[in-house]
Amino acid sequence: MAAAEFTALTSEAVRSQGRFTVALSGGSTPRSLYALLATKPSIPWDKICFFWGDERHVPPDHPDSNYRMAQEALLAKVPVRPENIFRIRGEEKDAETAARQYEDTLQQFFHLSPTQFPRFDLILLGLGPDGHTASLFPQTSALNEWHRLVVANWVEKFKAYRITLTFPVLNAAERLIFLASGPDKATILHQVLENGGANLPSQQVRPSQGRSLWLVDRLAASGLSGGANIST
């Protein structure tokens, strides 16, 4: 289902505007999607511009690197133009420098004025067991950022910074797809989709002029009462 959505959105965007801009998600859930997409030569890979929703504060060859995961599962296997890969420089000594650099990258690529937000064709997102998405974790400063495009976000439980797109960038996207799979996501998915009062970070993602879609497997959906409009 996710691969079909990606393929359809790509061909529509390339047909109507000559390119497709996507921000990839990290974590483990999207790896199988990336591997599946890598088997699809009909996708116009040379017209796709790749960005990331967030990155760990690590070099691109580090096992925890979101860039590395996507590179190994997908980008190394398809004819993407190297100049169309815009990764977050997690290797920067200072995470804030990496965030500022990525803001500059987005401002230049999307030709943004200082108050504008980029409109990605698609942003892929995951769901953490604590309700975080991208690297917008509960009780972190990035949750209150409504002007910047990208910030370095200190995550106390990891004693580390993450570099993440902010809510206004997520909410400016044309299309958002949340991916959630496995039994360990059942409780949080119920909270996010069926408990409006939970005030979880992923509940703050509400595209202003776009659409969001939840693609979840049956195990992740096992905690839902059936009210939520989701695709399994």
As measured in angstroms, the least distance from the Cβ of 192 to ligand 6PG is 12
Nearest to 103 by CA among 39, 146, 48, 165: 165
| Neighbour tally for 59: CB within 10 Å | 14
CB-neighbour burial class of residue 50 (10 A; exposed 0-12, middle 13-18, buried 19+): buried
End-to-end CA distance of the chain: 8
Say if strands 160-165 and 175-180 run parallel, antiparallel, or are unpaired. unpaired
Structure tokens that stand for 75 in this block: 């980008």
In the bound state with ligand 6PG, the residue whose beta carbon lies nearer, of 128 and 210, is 128
What gap in Å lies between CA 95 and CA 195, rounded to an integer? 34
Taking CB under 6 A as the rule, which mask of x and - marks residues 76-115 in contact with ligand 6PG?
----------------------------------------
Q: What is the DSSP letter of 226?
A: S
- Beta carbon of residue 14, minimum distance to ligand 6PG (angstroms, whole number): 26
Which secondary structure element, helix H or strand E, spans residue 152, and what is its range?
A: strand 150-155
| 29 lies in the binding site for ligand 6PG (CB under 6 A) | yes
Interface with ligand 6PG, residue 54, by CB under 6 A:
yes
Q: Which of 133, 141, 112 minimizes the C-alpha distance to 21?
A: 112
| The one among 3, 9, 19, 27 contacting ligand 6PG by CB under 6 A | 27
| 3-state secondary structure (DSSP) of residue 113 | coil
Q: Is 66 in the site for ligand 6PG (CB under 6 A)?
A: yes
Site for ligand 6PG in 130-159 (CB under 6 A): 132-135
Q: Residue 118 or 126: which CB sits closer to ligand 6PG? A: 126
The verdict on 166 binding ligand 6PG (CB under 6 A) reads no
Closest among 15, 8, 14 to 47, alpha carbons compared: 14
User: CB of 8: closest distance to ligand 6PG in angstroms?
Assistant: 22
Q: Is there binding between residue 191 and ligand 6PG (CB under 6 A)?
A: no
Q: Is 26 in the site for ligand 6PG (CB under 6 A)?
A: yes
- Is 189 one of the binding residues for ligand 6PG (CB under 6 A)? no
Applying CB under 6 A, the span of 87-95, 127-135, 149-157, 167-175 interacting with ligand 6PG comes to 127-135
Count of positions on this chain that bind ligand 6PG (CB under 6 A): 15
Angle at 124 between CA 82 and CA 211, to 5 degrees: 125
Which residues contact ligand 6PG (rule: CB under 6 A)?
25-29, 53-54, 66, 126-128, 132-135
